[in-house]
Amino acid sequence: MTTDSVRATTLDLIGNTPLVLLKGPSEAAGCEIFGKCEFANPGASVKDRAALWIIRDAEARGELKPGGTIIEGTAGNTGIGIALVANALGYKTVIVMPDNQSKEKMDTLRALGAQLVTVPPTKFADPNHFVHTSRRMAEETEGAVWANQFDNVANRKAHIESTAPEIWAQMAGRIDGFTCAAGTGGTIAGVGMGLKAFDDAVTIALTDPHGAALYSYYAEGELKSEGNSVAEGIGQGRITANLDGAPIDDQFRISDEEGLEWVTRLLAEEGLCLGLSSGINVAGAVALGRKLGGGKRIATILCDTGFRYLSTLYNREWLEAKNLPVFPWLAR
């Protein structure tokens, strides 16, 4: 039984998220800026889509068998999505995560029944990086599969097959540009490929935080990073399999301060409580809108809920320690 408001299974709650016109960003850009409300997924983030597609792909290939275990290295949101999908399908979950991610993500994973392993943050070249640690654990665990979200193209397939067609339909085919940041690259590549299949004239732009290397790669052809960012789950220093062949037409580098300005304004003026990656995406959408000109229609991703960052992004002491502006109502 399915209607517009009734779903046959809990997994059918993933996707078909609302699209909302953002008033402040639209006024700032001089065009219409729309946010895809991915925080409305059951796991409260865009990563639920990748989790579902990755698990279904492993089942289809016969790699994941009943009662099996899914192991993944993640900054948190993909792990939360995997845990929920795994619970619904009868699998166990092991998540390897850098120990500098938000306490809320760690507490959520434990609450969902996932086994959580934390490791010190380190460069990707280090064999103790959370991604490599999760791969080794999967190789050493009987009946386990490694989700491999960075290089498993089932990730971007989720966005080719679901996110892009949803945005196209919701905007009635009237879309001039799309932008978001890259973590695995699955969202920017998948939505980009999906929208280009409808209309190759849609401008696909990367919004890159400081500390990541993709801005310089697409601008100058060289992977080179500058500065740093406290945003969780975005920023990449290599071309993942998901990013390979991504149709990137333009690129913007956005600071944490710019992203925080939109996090602040969207909460204070429009009642949306979002994470920093969403603020960075909105800042990128404003930049793209200004570049494309008045009257254009731009979409971006509102990645996850701000409730996942109460101990960090929404904490006065944490913001001050990072030399970041404090929300006015927290400073009072």
Q: Which residues are catalytic?
A: 47
- Residue pair 172/216 in contact by the 8 Å Cβ criterion: no
Residue 33, CA distances (Å) to 46, 193, 201, 290 in order: 18, 20, 18, 11
- Residue pair 97/76 in contact by the 8 Å Cβ criterion: yes
User: Which amino acid makes up residue 66?
Assistant: P
Residue 298, CA distances (Å) to 35, 41, 182, 193, 205 in order: 9, 22, 17, 16, 10
Residue 255 burial class via C-beta count within 10 angstroms: exposed 0-12, middle 13-18, buried 19 and up: middle
Consecutive H or E run containing 255: none
- Residue pair 131/152 in contact by the 8 Å Cβ criterion: no
Question: CA 274 to CA 153: how far, in whole Å?
Answer: 27
Torsion angle of the four alpha carbons 107, 109, 114, 117, in this order, in degrees rounded to the nearest 10 = -70
Local structure of residue 274 (DSSP, 8 states):
B
Q: Pairing mode, if any, of strands 177-180 and 203-209?
A: parallel
Question: CA 255 to CA 286: how far, in whole Å?
Answer: 13
Question: CA 199 to CA 90: how far, in whole Å?
Answer: 40
